[in-house]
Structure 1
Amino acid sequence: MEGLFRRPGYTGPVTNSALRTALTAGGVLAAAGLTTAAGGFLGTRDFALREVTAPVLESGTFDRLSRFHGDGRPAGRREFTILHVSDLHMLAHQKMKQRWVSALGALEPDLVVNTGDNLGEREAVPGVLQALDPLLRRPGVFVFGSNDYYAPHPVNPVNYLLGRKNPPGDTALPWQDMRAAFLEHGWEDATHRRIDFTVDGLRLAVGGVDDPHLDRDDYPALGGGPNPGADLALGLSHSPEPRVLDQFAADGYQLTMSGHTHGGQLCLPGGHAVVTNCGIDRSRVSGLSRWSERMWLHVSSGLGTSKYVPFRVFCRPSATLLHVVERPSVPA
């Protein structure tokens, strides 16, 4: 064993004591690595529901809705709830995830927003539909991400850590079948469309773009900003790229919603992201933040990962219930 495990600059023989120390240190490091890997894998199943309050509605909105509904409306309502789900990256065998997502239907949100990357493999469409079934019975809107169109493939993880974009895979996913099912249940596809509809008296204007991560976004295709008569204007984009967010803000959208980042996925303790995998800064990698004076941004941490990187470290998979409320009134 002489000559093994030498310290830099040390030329003498390795003693039994030194060898034991080296082996012990190596064992500790190996155990720590295995523990981290195991914890990261188990972290993919540690689902969480997050709740945030988004003060984006004009003061007096709910008073107007009460007058609209008259005596038939429940008194005292002061919020509109949006359930934001994203990045399921569903695999057919992920029954635990499917059950957890399905249970979100008990929240009875006013609106469901799905910002894409639902699929993790070709066989996953039935699992996605089973998971989302109770939510498909609620009003909903969606846009797609790269992992709705193309199956994941092994990539160089160094590119991710260095902020380099990996190319999409070559295997097409059956997104058309999933889209057809979403539409059949009444969800609206906001991809390069402006949609106006009403939910329980609240007038919504929704505009969305295709995935900027694949450079599929065509913001001018929206043909202008949201309906100025809307109570709430939502902008949807799978990846929260600044070029798209700036356009939403300039056109008067009040709240934009995205996914894609996985909250950083491999984070430092405390959930501090190392990378965002897009153009936003790390402070906005998940949760609610103000993008401009009049627009808020919500980024979902998402509920899954690529099957080739099945780890989440200090970054729980999550969905978010947004409580949309009125902005504080400004004193006269």
Structure 2
Amino acid sequence: MRSGIVTWVGIILTLDDAVPSAADRFRRIGRIAGITAITASVAAAGVTAWAVRECHQFQLRRLELPLLPPGTLRGKREFRLLHISDLHMVPGQRAKQEWVASLDQLQPDLVVNTGDNLSDLKAVPATLRALGPLMRRPGLFVFGSNDYYAPTVVNPLSYVVGKKRKASRVELPWRGMRAAFIEHGWQDATHRRLEFKVGSVRIAATGVDDPHHDLDDYGQVSGAPNAEADLRLALAHSPEPRVLAQFAADGYQLALCGHTHGGQICLPGGKTLVTNCGIDRVRAWGLHEFDGMMLHVSNGLGTSKFAPVRLFCRPSATLISLVEKPDLARE
């Protein structure tokens, strides 16, 4: 009997040792929480490093569009249009300057710049170094708010929820940059209707000031472009649907915009979370149709200097090869 009692006492003591005390449970929870926090911190640091690195992984996108009337090119295969946007240049960004300058090797027939070139008060010289070789070629431009006003530190949550940010009151030296563009032969399409010829291609183009901050006045350029033009181009910094609808209604073939950065922080596959404007997420970057007009939205070559990260959204420029439509009369 005594032996049985001793056995039961041993079992009870063993069970008591197996059940952790409240203090042990708290210590265990603390260890798990600590490990989880460290793991999360390491993962966050890794993602941040990756997102910062992505800002320097410049890409050239290539598209082909059959927009030109048969016979326009007179034997040439294509008319090369280089679309660049959202440089957001900061002094010292040498890799970006060199990469943009190297785009001249593509020998574009026309360069289109849809704004937000600057991200610093002292960035104009760096911007002109980057664009210098391209400014020897025919070009068009419109500006965005970050050509006129310096960027500011903002709450990143305001971007995530799609809250419109106010432009700062710190004016950038955009007038000198604009003068340099014009001196080198680029044409300012802001609230102007332009007609000119590049090689054998007759172009009718127009543009508006940045519609994201309501700087546009479409009434100044409204109306159908010259029907005899081979290529009818429309430019705006931000792809706001209300402006795109007016371009399309007037008969422009191709609208070129920037501003969205393609979402900047995206899901795998470049799936956009936020556009920072009125355009839908599906058309936040790349080539799409809008009311019968083709729309190309550049995901840009830079970011605000206060948010130098990109995720699943590498910076890019786009070379659009414009070719002739099929000659149905010959088929």
Normalising by structure 1, report the TM-score. 0.90
Cα deviation digits, residues 241-300 of structure 1 (max 9, x gap): 00010000000000000000001001011111101011111111111011122x100000
Match of 2:319 in 1: 321
- Kept after mapping to 1: 8 A contact 2:222/2:250: no
AA matched with 1:308: F
Aligned length: 309
Q: Distance in 2 between matches of 1:223 and 1:45?
A: 39
Match of 2:297 in 1: 299
Match of 2:34 in 1: 23
3-state DSSP class of the match of 2:266? Answer: coil
3-state DSSP class of the match of 1:42? Answer: helix
- Kept after mapping to 1: 8 A contact 2:234/2:247: yes
Question: Pairwise mapping of residues 214-229 of structure 1 onto structure 2 (< 5 A)?
Answer: 214-229=213-228
How far did 1:328 drift? Answer: 4.1
- Kept after mapping to 2: 8 A contact 1:260/1:302: yes
AA matched with 2:39: V
Q: Distance in 1 between matches of 2:71 and 2:171?
A: 44
Q: Distance in 1 between matches of 2:212 and 2:296?
A: 17
1:309 paired residue among 307, 310, 323: 307
How far did 1:55 drift? Answer: 2.3
Q: Distance in 1 between matches of 2:38 and 2:103?
A: 43
How far did 1:330 drift? Answer: 5.4
AA matched with 2:44: G
Match of 2:167 in 1: 168
Question: Pairwise mapping of residues 225-304 of structure 1 onto structure 2 (< 5 A)?
Answer: 225-293=224-292, 295-304=293-302
How far did 1:228 drift? Answer: 1.1
The structure number with the bigger radius of gyration is 2
Q: Distance in 2 between matches of 1:273 and 1:189?
A: 31
How far did 1:202 drift? Answer: 0.2
Q: Distance in 2 between matches of 1:213 and 1:92?
A: 26
Q: Distance in 2 between matches of 1:55 and 1:85?
A: 20
Q: Distance in 2 between matches of 1:325 and 1:16?
A: 70
Q: Distance in 2 between matches of 1:230 and 1:61?
A: 13
Q: Distance in 2 between matches of 1:181 and 1:200?
A: 24
1:36 paired residue among 47, 67, 73: 47
AA matched with 1:249: A
Q: Distance in 2 between matches of 1:188 and 1:290?
A: 26
Residues 1:48 and 1:285: Cα distance change in structure 2 (over 3 Å): same
Question: Pairwise mapping of residues 1-332 of structure 1 onto structure 2 (< 5 A)?
Answer: 12-13=22-23, 14=25, 16-58=27-69, 60-62=70-72, 65-66=73-74, 75=75, 77-293=76-292, 295-328=293-326
Residues 1:184 and 1:164: Cα distance change in structure 2 (over 3 Å): same
% identity of equivalent residues: 55
- Kept after mapping to 2: 8 A contact 1:290/1:296: yes
- Kept after mapping to 2: 8 A contact 1:146/1:211: yes
Cα deviation digits, residues 160-180 of structure 1 (max 9, x gap): 111110000110001000000
Cα deviation digits, residues 164-222 of structure 1 (max 9, x gap): 10000110001000000000000000000011000011000010000001100001101
Q: Distance in 2 between matches of 1:138 and 1:226?
A: 23
Cα root mean square deviation, aligned: 1.5
Gaps of 5+ in 1: 1-10, 67-74
Residues 1:161 and 1:330: Cα distance change in structure 2 (over 3 Å): farther
Gaps of 5+ in 2: 1-20
Cα deviation digits, residues 48-81 of structure 1 (max 9, x gap): 11111122223x143xx42xxxxxxxx4x23111
- Kept after mapping to 2: 8 A contact 1:61/1:231: no
Q: Distance in 1 between matches of 2:328 and 2:32?
A: 67
How far did 1:224 drift? Answer: 2.0
AA matched with 1:307: K
Residues 1:250 and 1:47: Cα distance change in structure 2 (over 3 Å): same
3-state DSSP class of the match of 1:88? Answer: coil
3-state DSSP class of the match of 1:323? Answer: strand
Higher deviation after alignment, 230-239 or 155-164:
155-164
